[in-house]
A and B are shown apart, each in its own frame.
Chain A
Amino acid sequence: MKHLLSTAGLAREDAITILDTAAQMATTQSREIKKLPTLRGRTVVNLFFEDSTRTRISFETAAKRLSADVINFSAKGSSVSKGESLKDTALTLQAMGADAVVCRHQASGAPHLLAHAGWLDSAVVNAGDGTHQHPTQALLDAYTMRRHLAGPPGSGPDDAAALGADLAGRRVAIVGDVLHSRVARSNVHLLHTLGAEVTLVAPPTLLPVGVESWPCEVSYHLDESLREGAPDAIMMLRVQRERMSGAGAGAFFPNPLEYTRKYGLDGRRLALLPEHAIVMHPGPMNRGLEISAEAADSPRAVIVEQVANGVAVRMAVLYLLLSGRDAPGAPDPSEGSVLA
């Protein structure tokens, strides 16, 4: 594995290796001394062209827990605001000797360009590009689901049963603004690879053209999906109003109240879910729009745990990309398998 750019095309074995490694990383994070010497002397650059709190902090924490040096680069206050191109930024990072570049960009495909244009020798991790992919978010979602759903229904988190397991036969509903969501795209592909049955639930206006070719079911009715689909996990997506044109909600739905009534998760819909089902949200939440405070704060919500698991998953990704003979800057570089 040289780069992590997309979950489409990520092999089942590679995905399970990442999740199992994340499980071992997670156990080290309950210790008094959380720092491991594994990536001592390596440099990880967080290259963020788009605003982010939890993803950047999560990657920064993960890299620091593995003893790597972290350089944070955000487009605001850098030469990018003077008009520097992605290529020149990449060449600068190459000259400074970055071993891994974690890239978030508002344009779909920017991390792919960084990885394959020949500007950089480093490993590239996609931390969200446009409306395309956000692979580490999908991996941490899959990790969280596997932890909670690997054992018999209702048994709670079970790390021993989760090790080496996939999500075969588990039903996952992804609800909300699929159109603008890279999280949904990454999750659909990864969860399908891991054997889960995914249903997207959204108003027709918030589904992208071509969704019928994705490996999942599509529904327009949340109540029906909850009653008949009996999902093991429900993932609420943020309504990305900053990506919607015009004031307020733009033209995608009549008004926020109607959206909440038809697609919001509240206490009543929570009661429709099976006993063991977990409630997920990639954050940041619009409380009162796609999820009510009652649902977000219920004991079945694993939203805070998702954030903690994000650090372990990103530690695993950085470890797998930066250790080993095929890693960038290793003494004996040879042709390795290239993902994506």
Chain B
Amino acid sequence: MNPGAAVPSTPNVPGPSGRPETVVLGDADVARALTRIAHEIVERNKGAADVVLLGIPTRGVPLARRLAQRLASVVGSDHQALVGELDVTMYRDDLRRNPTRPVGATHLPPSGIDDKVVVLVDDVLFSGRTIRAALDAISDLGRPRAVQLAVLVDRGHRELPIRPDYVGKNLPTSAEERVSVRLAELDGTGDSVTIRGGGPR
């Protein structure tokens, strides 16, 4: 399978499954993308006064925390008050198609989300169904002034009319390929985004 022009020709490394993986983003790339997204959030919302970042478990949560730190250093506020996590398990539409999922935690910042600008943060945007579930979850928790979406990777193949506001990297993929995001907080390695072919090479 040809990785295509959009994927930089970085060296192939054997992944955990033994299949070759292409590293698309490394440590420094992830950091730069998050810094840029933080500045875009400040620019779009003319500051960060009303912004609340909600990470979607699992990997959206550390990404939201990192974004909050950057946002706080740009506008000079407390990053803890900016960030929360939003579990969407009980709002998913595919619960009966997959093995039973463990239910995660939802924590909102003390100020709540009413009349705020909520920025949902996730690692990979694919079908858009997780974000659909997140939008339903938000409407049960309060009424934000606006909801925006920040993702580290947009890999296409949307099944719903959902579009991200902030994208770390657009990554054209085939539906068979697998995109994995590893983050230092959860995976004990450096940060990386890798792509692995679905079919035999």
Contact across chains for A326 and B103 when beta carbons are under 8 A apart: no
Closest A residue, CB atoms, query B107: A27
CB distance from A241 to the nearest CB of B (A): 41
Residues of B within 8 A of A330 (CB): 96-97
Contact across chains for B96 and A25 when beta carbons are under 8 A apart: no
**Size range of the interface on A?**
20 to 34
Contact across chains for B99 and A31 when beta carbons are under 8 A apart: no
CB distance from A120 to the nearest CB of B (A): 18
Known: A24-B87, A36-B90, A37-B91. A324 touches B96 (CB 8 A): yes
Report which of A33, A38, A326 forms a contact with B90, defined as CB distance below 8 A: A38
Could you tell me which residues of chain A, from 1 to 52, have a CB within 8 Å of some CB in chain B? Answer: 1, 17, 20-21, 24-25, 27-28, 31, 33, 35-38
Q: Does B58 lie at the interface of the complex (its beta carbon under 8 Å from any beta carbon of A)?
A: no
Report which of A20, A31, A325 forms a contact with B97, defined as CB distance below 8 A: A325
Residues of A within 8 A of B105 (CB): 24, 27
Report which of B90, B96, B100, B101 forms a contact with A37, defined as CB distance below 8 A: B90
Residues of A within 8 A of B95 (CB): 38, 323-324
Residues of B within 8 A of A24 (CB): 87, 103-106
Contact across chains for A31 and B90 when beta carbons are under 8 A apart: no
Q: Does B188 lie at the interface of the complex (its beta carbon under 8 Å from any beta carbon of A)?
A: no
Contact across chains for A331 and B87 when beta carbons are under 8 A apart: no
C-alpha gap A327/B104 in the complex (Å): 20
Q: Does B115 lie at the interface of the complex (its beta carbon under 8 Å from any beta carbon of A)?
A: no
Residues of A within 8 A of B104 (CB): 24
Q: Does A212 lie at the interface of the complex (its beta carbon under 8 Å from any beta carbon of B)?
A: no
Bitwise, B58-97 to A at CB < 8 A (1) or not (0) is 0000000000000000000000000000010011000111
Contact across chains for B97 and A319 when beta carbons are under 8 A apart: no
Report which of B87, B99, B106, B141 forms a contact with A324, defined as CB distance below 8 A: B99
Contact across chains for A331 and B97 when beta carbons are under 8 A apart: yes
Q: Does B110 lie at the interface of the complex (its beta carbon under 8 Å from any beta carbon of A)?
A: no
CB distance from A29 to the nearest CB of B (A): 12
Q: Does A228 lie at the interface of the complex (its beta carbon under 8 Å from any beta carbon of B)?
A: no
Q: Does B102 lie at the interface of the complex (its beta carbon under 8 Å from any beta carbon of A)?
A: yes
Bitwise, B116-153 to A at CB < 8 A (1) or not (0) is 00000000000000000000100011000000000000
Q: Does A332 lie at the interface of the complex (its beta carbon under 8 Å from any beta carbon of B)?
A: yes
Most B Cβ at <10 Å: residue of A28, A37, A323 = A323
Q: Does B111 lie at the interface of the complex (its beta carbon under 8 Å from any beta carbon of A)?
A: no
Report which of A33, A66, A319, A324 forms a contact with B140, defined as CB distance below 8 A: A33
C-alpha gap A37/B116 in the complex (Å): 24
Residues of B within 8 A of A (CB): 87, 90-91, 95-106, 136, 140-141
Residues of A within 8 A of B (CB): 1, 17, 20-21, 24-25, 27-28, 31, 33, 35-38, 66, 316, 319-320, 323-327, 329-332
**Nearest 7 CB-CB pairings of A with B:** A324-B100, A323-B95, A24-B103, A38-B90, A330-B96, A33-B140, A36-B90
